[in-house]
Amino acid sequence: MIKRILESAQRLESENTRFLMDMIRIPAFSTKEKDVVLCIKNEMENAGFDEVRIDGLGNVIGRIGSGPRVLAFDAHIDTVYPGDLSLWDRDPFDAHIKDGKVWGRGSVDQEGGMAAMVTAGRIIKELGLGKDFTLYFTGTVMEEDCDGLCWQYLIKEEGIKPELVVITEPTNMNIYRGHRGRMEMQVHVKGLSCHGSAPERGDNAIYKISRIALEIEKLHERLITDPFLGKGSVCVTEVYFTGPSQCAVPDSARIHLDRRLTWGETKDSAVAEVQETCRLAGYPEAEIEVLTYSETAYTGLVYPTEKYFPTWVTPEDSTWVQTAAAAYQELFEKAPLIDKWTFSTNGVAIAGMHHIPCIGLGPGNEIYAHAPNEACPIGHLTGAAAFYAALVYKLT
């Protein structure tokens, strides 16, 4: 059966590649995914999925089978913007094949995973795999803006609670089993405005926030390290201020913090560290805010969530990781590298918040995520499709 799965994936390689290029040609930024969702819905229907629908947040959900066990494959289908176009060799939405790769924005992060998932669905249908399962294939929205929000909706509003979710974010065709969590905070300070010709009359909020920012730099060096996930991190990524004019001392300022949480770090511990940092800078009265995401989905729905996304790890000796490794070994005739993502995925909600086990394998190398000249090897698309189908077979 493993041999038949691989043969089917190779036979469907051109369809797999064509579908990925179809998606790349449709810009699909966060909150603007409608057209690519409709493209995916059409592809799933043509592939013979038993049910295809779009939920209230705009996620596209394909279903195969109606067995008692529930398994899900997930790909977020929104992409980041292309950035400076002069850094691209070609139009980022001009999907094309060169050097055995599909090029274009979203090829790696992460419409390649979506294409491989649907191809796996075709194989599962053709070979009659997974009869014990209800299999969901989710093309999820708004992940680039707010990772995990889509799965908070799927779990809490749609009632989808699988025994395992396979995340198809890029892993360079390795098996991943976790990553650091993250949160977004802002630090606010107040000042006193006055005319810029006599700054001593006022209280410059930019000076205050700058001293705090320098203490944040020192805080980063003190953060703990986990043997598997690595070190926690904190970084000042944006600076804001207010004031009456360019000739006035600013009366308020704030900084935005990107905080990555390793194992053992929590929202409360991270906030306490920043509070202590403000005290060390001389401003214990500074306000620390954990942000909320409340943007409007393309469906018109607003589904707010706090921007705290917990750390998660699936144990290496778990049934899920070991079964995935066995499927990989049989399929590719070599042992997999079992590792972790550097960045964050929808696993923060699935595993971090709702404790549903996750593993990951996806086409493409994560170093090309959000980068110009993004490209995914065609061989990865074929291999990933085969792996997803093989995993269903091995779990059965």
**Active-site positions?**
78, 143
How far, in Å, CA of 195 to CA of 148, rounded?
Answer: 46
- From the list 355, 296, 312, 358, the residue with the least C-alpha distance to 142 is 296
Residue 181 to residue 269: CA distance in whole angstroms: 13
Give the whole-angstrom CA distance, residue 221 versus residue 243.
33
| Half-sphere exposure in the Cβ direction for 199 (13 Å, CA) | 13
Query: Phi/psi at 368 (nearest 5 deg)?
Result: -95, -5
Exposed, middle or buried, 84 (CB in 10 Å: 0-12/13-18/19+)? exposed
For 59, what's the count of Cα atoms within 13 Å in the CB-facing half-sphere? 28
Q: Tell me whether strands 69-76 and 164-167 are parallel, antiparallel or unpaired.
A: parallel
Name every residue whose Cβ is closer than 8 Å to that of residue 226 and which is 6 or more positions away in sequence: 262, 263, 264
Residues 6+ apart with CB under 8 A from 123: 5, 8, 9, 12, 129, 385, 386, 389
Give 86's DSSP letter: G
Rg (CA), the chain: 23
| Residue 305, φ and ψ in degrees, nearest 5 | -150, 145
Looking up tokens 């977020």 gives 76
Task: Report yes or no: 23 and 36 within 8 Å, Cβ to Cβ.
Answer: yes
**Residue 249: what residue type?**
V
